[in-house]
Structure formats: C-alpha cells, structure tokens
Structure 1
Amino acid sequence: MPDQMAFFGMVLTLLALTIIVSQILAATIAGLMNRSVAILEAPQKLLCVQSRRPLILLALIFPLYALSGQLAIDAAQLLSFWVFIAFMLLISVMDFEQQIILDQVLLPLLFLALCFSPVLPALLVNRLLAAAAGGLIFFLIAVLTKGGLGGGDIKLLSVLGLWLGTEKLLLTVLLGCLSAGLISAFLLLGKRKKPGDTIAYGPYFAFSAMIALLA
C-alpha cells in the first residue's frame, strides 16, 4: 500500500509538472509567433490552433518525461533530458505549423548544450566537431539542392550536434530523413501533398534527436 501511494504521488507530481511545462511552451510558441507574423508561412492559422496547443503538448510531454525519468542516471541528466525535450517539442510545433525555426529558440538551446556539457553523451570536442560538420555538410546539401533544406534546419542540425555528438547526430539524420521520406510518400499517395511542396524537416529531426539522446 505505501508503495502504491508513492507511485500515485509520483504520477500526480509528474502530471502537474508536465501541465505547467505544456502551458509555458504553448504561451512561448504563441508569443514567438505573434512577434514573427511577417515571416510566417500561414499566419491566418494562428488562432485556429492556439487553443489546442496545450493539450497536444501535454499528450507528448507526459510520456516523454516519464520515459526519460526511467533512463536518467542522476538529477542533472534528467534535467538535461527534460530541457532538451521541451525545446524539441517547441521547435516541432512551430515548424509543423508555420515552417519556421527561429534563432530566438536555437540560441538558448546552443547555450544550454554548453551548460549541460558534463552530462551529455559525448566529449565536448566530439560535440563541437559534430556541430561544425553538421552545419557545413547540410549547408552544402542546401546549396546543391537549391533550397531543399531550409536555413533553420541547417542551424538546428548544427545545434543538435553540440548536444548529441557525431554518432547520435548521424542517427538523428538517418532517422529524420527516413521518417520524412516515408511520411511524405504516404501524403503524396493520399493526395495530401503535391510534388514540389516543401517539407518541414524540423519535427522529424527533433523527434529523431529525442530518440537518439535517450537511446
């Protein structure tokens, strides 16, 4: 009985935490988008989805935070997982809705990678190499494909390199490109997308990065 009470107490605490985080993220997304209306893909959709964001975020955050709680080896690593997940979801929602990844989000994420350096999965030198290589390689890909990859995606991959290191960044890229390709193919077959439509890679890379970090 005491064990059951402790378990339910932990679940309720986690639920309360994730409700707070989802509300903060939803408010942050709304604020960033409202200040960036001029560069949004579909500003007319802002009000349509605003009320649903907290529930969508909560449905994603709760299981991810619960899983990361099982995998973290100490409180510092758990905090790094939770911060990373929050930023990945913020980026995913913004890029999915408006095909935009803002520097105002990436710069704090970069700074936090340095702050959490002692508990991240690779040595700093390895992660610096991943950040530089990821940014350069995908910049060249963007040039060769004439905009097939957006500037926000390039900067995101560079920052992810600083969090993940070379091996986990490679896993992120492979999973992200594979999932983006498969889902895009299904959307084309279902006539939900047309050939030539742009793809928001941010959510695919973000969710793949969460898998890579927790793996």
Structure 2
Amino acid sequence: MAYIDYKQKIIPDKLNIIIVLLGIINTMIDFKNCKVYIALAAIIFTVFLFIAIVTDGGIGGGDIKLLTALSLIFGISMLEIIIFALLIASIISIYLIIVRKQKYNSSIALGPYICIGVFVSLIDSFL
C-alpha cells in the first residue's frame, strides 16, 4: 500500500476496505471499547476531511479513509501514529525542500509515512 501511494499517489479502495473489515472484526472482539473505536474513527474522519476542505485537497481522500480505517484497529494509539507520521513527513519534506529536490508547493504521498507510524506503534506496543 505504501509503495502504491508513493508511486501513484493513490490508496486503492480495496485496501481500505480490507482494513475496515479488520477494524470491524477488532471492534467485535474488543466490544467493551467499541464506542471508543467508533468515536475516534468519526473524529479522525471529520478532522482530516475539514483539513482537506480548508487546504483545498491538502490531504487526499485515500489518506482520510486509511486513517479512519486504521483507527478502528488501533484505537487511541492512532494519535501516536498520526503524530509520528506527520512529524516524519514534515521532516523529510523540509529536507527535500532545502536540498531543492522538491518545491514548496509540491505534494507528497502520506501513505508511506502512515505505514511507518503504524510500524513504530506496533514495535512500541511490543516493547
């Protein structure tokens, strides 16, 4: 998924559907926290949709769907994932602008950074 987003700047709906289905299974398994997962998914969707509207597409619809779907799996850990993903994306983008490999107003694929955030969160949860 990260590779597809990096190369084509699109996250296929099929992948998001698979993640949503896994999230639904997760909410059924952890039913006592079901409300937290659903509320967080709604909040993340709303916040990032607002950002997309205000910035005129500054974040893609695939990224919004991916973050929303992942929140059904990771719950409150999604905040850590989002912060880490945006921090790494910002650092790399600033570096690329400084070395003139990227223009200030060019877009980046956020999917790979979200995947890195998920990976770091999984490692952190096992340590």
Q: Which of structures 1 and 2 has the larger relative contact order (alpha carbons within 8 angstroms, sep 6+)?
A: 2
Unaligned runs of 5+ in 1: 1-90
Distance 1:172 1:181 in 2: 14
Identity of aligned residues (%): 31
Alignment of 1:1-215 (within 5 A): 91-117=1-27, 118=29, 123-165=33-75, 167-214=76-123, 215=125
Q: Secondary structure of 1:123's partner?
A: helix
Distance 1:153 1:93 in 2: 14
Following superposition, the deviation at residue 114 of structure 1 comes to 1.9
RMSD: 1.8
Q: Which has the larger radius of gyration?
A: 1
Does structure 1 conserve the Cα–Cα contact (< 8 Å) formed by 2:26 and 2:72? no
Q: Which amino acid letter does the alignment assign opposite residue 164 of structure 1?
A: F
Q: Which amino acid letter does the alignment assign opposite residue 103 of structure 2?
A: K
Distance 1:186 1:171 in 2: 22
Q: Per-residue displacement from partner, 1:152-203 (whole Å, max 9, x unpaired)?
A: 11111110111111x2111111101100000001111121111111111111
Following superposition, the deviation at residue 210 of structure 1 comes to 2.5
Does structure 2 conserve the Cα–Cα contact (< 8 Å) formed by 1:131 and 1:162? yes
* TM-score of the superposed pair, with normalisation by structure 1: 0.54
Does structure 2 conserve the Cα–Cα contact (< 8 Å) formed by 1:168 and 1:213? no
Structure 2 match to 1:51: none
Q: Per-residue displacement from partner, 1:20-46 (whole Å, max 9, x unpaired)?
A: xxxxxxxxxxxxxxxxxxxxxxxxxxx
Following superposition, the deviation at residue 213 of structure 1 comes to 3.6
Following superposition, the deviation at residue 113 of structure 1 comes to 1.7
Distance 1:170 1:201 in 2: 15
Structure 1 outlier segments of 4+, above 4 Å: none
Unaligned runs of 5+ in 2: none
Distance 2:119 2:24 in 1: 18
